Amino acid sequence: MMKRGVTLEVGNDGVAIIAFYNPPVNALAIPILDGLQEKFAEAVRRDDVKAIVLTGKGGRFSAGFDINVFEKVHQTGDASVMPDVSISLVVNTIEDCKKPIVAALEGLALGGGLEVAMGCHARIAAPGAQLGLPELTLGVIPGLGGTQRLPRLVGLPKAIEIMLLSKPIMSEEGKKLGLIDALVASEELLKVSRQWALDIANMRKPWVRSLHRTDKIGSLSEARNLINIARQQAKKTAPNMPQHQVCLDTIEVGIVQGGYSGVLQEKKVFNDVVSSDTSKGLVHAFFSQRATSKVPNVTDVGLKPRHVKKVAVIGGGLMGSGIATALILSNIFVVLKEVNSEYLLKGLKSVEANVRGLVTKGKLTQDKVQKTLSMLKGVLDYSEFKDVDMVIEAVIESVPLKQKIFSEIEKACPAHCILATNTSTIDLNIVGEKTSSQDRIKVPVVVGNCAGFAVNRTFFPYSQGAHLLVNLGVDVFRIDRAISSFGLPMGPFQLQDVAGYGVAMAAGKVLANAFSDRSFMSPLLELLLKNGRNGKNNGKGYYIFERGSKPKPDPSVLPIIEESRRLTNIMPGGKPISVTDQEIVEMILFPVVNEACRVLDEGIVVRASDLDTASVLGMSFPSFRGGIVFWADTVGPNQIYASLKKWSKLYGNFFEPSRFLEERATRGIPLSAPSSPSPTSKSRL
């Protein structure tokens, strides 16, 4: 078995292979970096070594610097735990080495991995290797010289694109751009790299120190112009991400003052960005997304996943056709059932449109379309259900209809078949009430990227809170603007326009029934529908939707809002309440935090960070804020509790703090701290 660490082997040809191994992704953890320093020193010292090849074992070069160290900085508040790798390893030991060093890359070279490789004197890569600098997605900037060496190797426009979009390129493109010196089959990688290193030593190939190159930078005015354009663009596309501007500033310093000054500047500002709230949030989101696939008593007890080859999907609407598309793309046979041939045809057409849409977006090749669509069959009865491994019901949110379907499919499917529902709001125990197969209807756990039930439950106060504010006299468009500035892609009203009022009303009713003690029922959606408005569906909602232009606030919606206010009559003294933009955000999101507390208290999710992931993936809660619970802990449970208490006195039960929040606030414990479920609540897992 290969051992974690760094090895050095010197061949008869006088080439030392320095290889590091740190599965699963060869992250550059501190012991690996120390090991590299030690082995390079040995290779330089030894007279039998003429040249060096640096490589990663296990089919991957490296996914970059160890992100766990960032987490340590965030937990301790001490950025000095960051080792000096940029100058001491990449510049002094590698780039300025007296012996030539060639990087042999395969699999992936990301972040610090690619940066170390760019410090080497040449790079040889296997086909299909991913090369990129995705540091900005973690709230930091490349910190091992990437902001300086990448522009010098591939030119400024491409380097800015790779860093600001955090989008890796393939080694094939890398070769065209000059980032890679030669592309060779994986089996040849070490052989060619050794020879290349010897050729440099023997002056048959150039000995290039990337940081000293200037040939691809262009004139100073051209460079400044490009950077300024990128700055303006980043202001629009990443307004809450200061690291984008810091990255561009750092690139500029290197261009104006020279590569080495750029590296020093990069090192200096890196320590600031790594300690920022943005980095805290994004690193938390990175780890919480990966933690979701670790479910205690499921993934740690050696359970083998059941093989699913054929799935029946009931309902060919938006959800059903989307699910069917995802399944056939994963090579699973799907029978799509509808109630009549008209609906069935519509469902099959939407799946086909989804698949063809992927071709247009470049995510699927044309030659795969027919094969993918051949995995789909439309049916009008249950006869095809006799050999399915799973049924997913995706019909409208109606309890009697779902109950009827479940009692029917129970009879039509084989005994091993998993019965699943796509409900977003209805209690699963109710769905399965009319069957004798409760054990086959699984309570969902948060697994992979599937947010499951928790996100809709947690976020039900989100749109209710927004409606409550409107009925208290706050302007809808102001609410949307405040929520967008907080970092969600759109506000709650534009979201309702886009999602459709039918869905919002059906879900709203189910949730209001389930949580009647703390629900706010707004008449507004019904009034809008009555007035012939149905959001984006018919181009008329709170906003006007016209092809080719951004949705525009529609003033003609205001009298309908006034009517809603008259009906609810909740404005204190009949006058609109006065609130700041921050209060708007808090009056909508603190009730969501409050509901998250109940979800945690009831043990519906394995860990608080699963709600963070669910909120980011399911509700587009801004990942730079780490997720709903992480953000709540940054604000402080005490402040949230005090505000909710105050608003519950002014505006009613909707804001009443939960027992869990009250306890955490008074005892000064973060909401994310694990707890044993309360004696009154039963774990739902």
Ligand X SMILES: C[C@H](O)CC(=O)SCCNC(=O)CCNC(=O)[C@H](O)C(C)(C)COP(=O)(O)OP(=O)(O)OC[C@H]1O[C@@H](n2cnc3c(N)ncnc32)[C@H](O)[C@@H]1OP(=O)(O)O
Name the residues annotated as catalytic.
115, 135
Nearest residue to ligand X by CB is 111
Side chain identity at residue 148, one-letter code: Q
Q: In angstroms, what is the minimal distance from the CB of 105 to ligand X?
A: 14
CA–CA gap between residue 68 and residue 650 (Å, rounded): 45
Side chain identity at residue 1, one-letter code: M
552 in Cβ contact with 448 (< 8 Å): no
Nearer of residues 166 and 537 to ligand X, judged by Cβ: 166
Backbone angles phi, psi at 100, to 5 degrees: -70, 145
Q: In angstroms, what is the minimal distance from the CB of 95 to ligand X?
A: 16
Nearer of residues 290 and 386 to ligand X, judged by Cβ: 290
Find how far residue 519's CA is from the centre of its chain: 30
103 in Cβ contact with 120 (< 8 Å): yes
Q: Where are the beta strands (DSSP E) in 88-179?
A: 101-105, 108-110, 122-125, 130-132, 169-170
Nearer of residues 24 and 362 to ligand X, judged by Cβ: 24
Nearer of residues 163 and 661 to ligand X, judged by Cβ: 163
Q: In angstroms, what is the minimal distance from the CB of 110 to ligand X?
A: 4
Nearby residues of 233 by Cβ (< 8 Å), 6 or more positions away: 164
How is the chain split among helix, strand and coil, in percent rounded to 5? 55, 10, 35
Distances (CA, A) of 40 to 207, 403, 457: 18, 68, 55
Q: In angstroms, what is the minimal distance from the CB of 197 to ligand X?
A: 25
Joined tokens for residue 267: 């090192």
Nearer of residues 279 and 464 to ligand X, judged by Cβ: 279
Q: In angstroms, what is the minimal distance from the CB of 82 to ligand X?
A: 8
Q: In angstroms, what is the minimal distance from the CB of 146 to ligand X?
A: 6
Q: In angstroms, what is the minimal distance from the CB of 321 to ligand X?
A: 27
323 in Cβ contact with 347 (< 8 Å): no
Interaction site with ligand X (CB under 6 A): 24-25, 27, 63-68, 108, 110-112, 115, 134-135, 138, 142-144, 146, 290
Joined tokens for residue 657: 């703090």
Nearer of residues 294 and 404 to ligand X, judged by Cβ: 294
Beta bridge partners of residue 17, listed in sequence order: 9, 53
Place of tokens 């943005």: 278
Strand ordering across the sheet containing 390-393: 376-379, 333-337, 310-314, 390-393, 418-421
Joined tokens for residue 133: 């600098």
Longest dimension (CA), the chain: 91
Joined tokens for residue 276: 């920022």
CA–CA gap between residue 599 and residue 660 (Å, rounded): 10
Nearer of residues 27 and 200 to ligand X, judged by Cβ: 27
Nearer of residues 73 and 504 to ligand X, judged by Cβ: 73
Distances (CA, A) of 416 to 57, 264, 299, 391: 42, 62, 21, 11
Q: Are strands 310-314 and 390-393 parallel, antiparallel or unpaired?
A: parallel
Joined tokens for residue 672: 């994310």
Q: In angstroms, what is the minimal distance from the CB of 583 to ligand X?
A: 36
